[in-house]
């Protein structure tokens, strides 16, 4: 006998939700052929029923309250694409789990803040939470970590995980425009969240990094321990000078387990201009995974948008239709370790930019500060004079972050600085 249809309850009818509706309607025969059962939408939920959504929703029951949708007896999988780490999204997801439903979500904030509790609740009920669409849009990075690389000990997770930030930085670089002007351009194009700081402050990307780190290193999600620094302080001067030295600036997420604990940082970094990350343009995302057996895997693709995100949602739905029952974070939630948070201490080269008084011995004083901190210089350039000032750019050999902080603090004591120095980590990729 043919398997019973898998019935979806869809909460959220924005861009992604309508994308899911379109795939279910357009690809019904293909999905049934690949899963051995049909996938249907039984009921939907959104705040405004009268809104024109350019999709035929007439066959679906309507619930104004997503919690009521989650509790319906005629759905098997609760699909949550509303957003938000608390409020209706959290309440409805908890209700779905309590009612014995599987959950598919595109909500990285929900899991970054509540992932451990939700995973334990779901697994206690024998249910699954799938969230491929929550990280890097259409790139199947969750599946890569939980399945394709399951036999590897992951050494490092790294990537550009916010397309808006990558658009802003690459637009500044290609057009020679300052941050404020490109920020406003991104706003006009609709690229920014209602709260822009979620994008440009690194919060959205930090949510994603914390989820990947949990899977990669078998730890509980620890978003609060992610070192966050947005792109608002990245200047067009640094973009130009970094390019002159063979680098590009990216908002880069890096997670790695060290002897001191779990390092997680989402900060502006320099990467080699000719590397895959350096070549990444526009709103595209890229995730780099490094395993002890496989080596380095680079995954590139669209990080947002109706089609890519809905595609990732449906990949999870199809896995459930096929009977796949992988724990939320790749292993039972109760076995996930509580991570020891470690501030970044792994040595790396650094880019240092400063404006000095143009007088004899100024540069020697800076070099002495670096030498006293145990930091050696790899490259150094001096650029055109502006009155009595000169811009100096230094690329160091590998140095511990603490040593860089100590050295730049000592710069202020030399009496040759015109303004505060800029220090940006160079990530080796």
Could you give the residue numbers annotated as active site? 208
Q: Pick from 93, 96, 76, 75: which is nearest to 84 by CA?
A: 93
C-alpha 387/C-alpha 395 separation (Å) is 25
Please measure the distance between the N-terminal and C-terminal CA atoms of the chain and give it in whole angstroms: 52
- Non-local (6+) Cβ contacts of 298 within 8 A are 276, 286, 287, 288
Taking the CB of residue 16, how many other CB atoms lie within 10 A of it?
A: 26
C-alpha 263/C-alpha 342 separation (Å) is 5
Strand partners, 380: 394
> 3-state class of 88 per DSSP?
helix
8 Å CB contact between 90 and 110: yes
> 3-state class of 193 per DSSP?
coil
Angle between helices 306-322 and 28-35 (to 10 degrees): 40
Q: Pick from 211, 137, 134, 199: which is nearest to 168 by CA?
A: 199
Strand partners, 130: 104
Query: How big, in percent rounded to 5, are the helix, strand and coil portions of the chain?
Result: 40, 25, 35
């Amino acid at each position: 006998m043919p398997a019973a249809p898998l019935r979806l309850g869809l909460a959220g009818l924005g861009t992604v939700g309508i994308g899911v509706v379109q795939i279910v309607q357009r690809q019904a025969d293909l999905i049934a052929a690949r899963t051995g059962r049909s996938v249907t939408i039984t009921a939907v939920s959104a705040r405004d029923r009268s809104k024109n959504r350019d999709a035929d929703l007439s066959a679906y029951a309507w619930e104004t309250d997503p919690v009521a949708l989650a509790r319906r007896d005629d759905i098997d999988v609760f699909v949550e694409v509303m957003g938000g780490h608390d409020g209706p999204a959290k309440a409805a997801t908890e209700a779905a789990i309590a009612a014995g439903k599987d959950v598919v979500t595109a909500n990285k904030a929900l899991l970054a803040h509540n992932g451990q509790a939700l995973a334990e609740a779901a697994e206690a009920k024998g249910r699954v939470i799938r969230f491929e669409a929550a990280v890097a849009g259409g790139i199947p990075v969750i599946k890569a970590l939980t399945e394709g690389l399951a036999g590897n000990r992951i050494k490092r997770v790294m990537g550009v995980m916010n397309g808006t930030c990558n658009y802003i930085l690459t637009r500044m670089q290609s057009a020679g425009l300052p941050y404020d002007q490109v920020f406003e351009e991104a706003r006009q194009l609709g690229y920014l969240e209602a709260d822009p700081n979620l994008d440009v402050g690194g919060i959205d990307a930090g949510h994603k990094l914390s989820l990947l780190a949990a899977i990669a290193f078998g730890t509980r999600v620890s978003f609060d321990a992610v070192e966050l620094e947005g792109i608002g302080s990245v200047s067009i001067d640094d973009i130009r000078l970094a390019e002159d030295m063979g680098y590009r600036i990216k908002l880069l997420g890096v997670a790695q387990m060290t002897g001191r604990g779990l390092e997680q940082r989402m900060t502006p970094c320099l990467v080699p201009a000719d590397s895959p990350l350096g070549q990444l343009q526009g709103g595209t995302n890229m995730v780099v995974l490094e395993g002890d057996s496989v080596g380095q895997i680079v995954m590139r693709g669209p990080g947002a948008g109706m089609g890519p995100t809905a595609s990732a949602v449906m990949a999870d739905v199809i896995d459930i239709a096929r009977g796949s029952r992988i724990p939320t974070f790749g292993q039972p939630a109760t076995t996930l370790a509580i991570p020891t948070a470690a501030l970044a201490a792994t040595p790396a080269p650094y880019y240092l930019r400063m404006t000095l008084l143009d007088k004899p011995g100024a540069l020697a004083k800076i070099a002495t500060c670096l030498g006293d901190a145990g930091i050696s210089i790899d490259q150094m350039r001096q650029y055109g004079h502006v009155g009595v000032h000169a811009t100096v750019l230094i690329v160091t050999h590998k140095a511990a972050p603490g040593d860089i902080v100590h050295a730049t603090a000592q710069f202020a004591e030399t009496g040759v600085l015109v303004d505060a120095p800029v220090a940006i980590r160079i990530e080796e990729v």
